[in-house]
Amino acid sequence: MLKIQAQSHIPTDFGMFTVYAFSENESDWSPHLVWVAEKTDFNAVVNVRFHSECITGEVFHSRKCECGQQLDSAMKFVSENGGMIIYLRQEGRNIGIINKLKAYVLQEQGFDTVEANLRLGLPADGRDFGIAIEMLKILGVSDVNLLTNNPEKLKSLENSGIILHNRIPLEIDSNPSSASYLTKKKDYFGHLLEKV
């Protein structure tokens, strides 16, 4: 059972956020985090981003994906419009950083992102968005707009008790290193990408 283990106010380049750490026990060093922008009304329709950890893209600015840019864009949006980022500790579509780097080696050999994961005996996408739903309910949020291009995130809200009002696109321009990755997102996972 997830519960709030700690919370604090943190000023960022995008504005002030209240940050909640969610885990099953307080000794968990990698809890899920919810970053709530100032002036967010949990009783209204809340702008929400389900964002999975990507240390390569967010911290080290890898150009192989758009994760860091998406996180920055989402933080800017919710800071200006109210809302929250649900930061899920599900690195590399929930395969972990070691397996992610192994998959990168296979990608250098010509396999795409899905083929690389499958060759390692891993799921194409092993993330669990039900965790995000659980955190929304703990916070008392029942109505959301979802910042996403991913249809699976939209589906995760079906029959959840959380009402989805609108999808807010969060599309980032590709670069030579991310073009094939984004194409695979669109063609294999059905991501709603108009620029690809």
Question: Catalytic residue positions?
Answer: 125, 127
- Residue identified by tokens 């999808």 is 167
What tokens appear for 84 in the block?
């929250």
Dihedral over alpha carbons 33, 42, 8, 34 (to 10 degrees): 10
81 phi-psi bin (left φ>0, alpha ψ -120 to 50, beta other)? alpha
Q: Is 57 helix (H, G, I), strand (E, B) or coil?
A: helix
- Alpha helices (runs of H) in the chain, residue ranges in sequence order: 55-58, 67-81, 91-94, 97-108, 113-119, 130-139, 151-155, 179-187
Quote the CA–CA distance of 130 and 177 in Å, as a whole number: 31
Q: Is 164 helix (H, G, I), strand (E, B) or coil?
A: strand
Quote the CA–CA distance of 20 and 32 in Å, as a whole number: 8
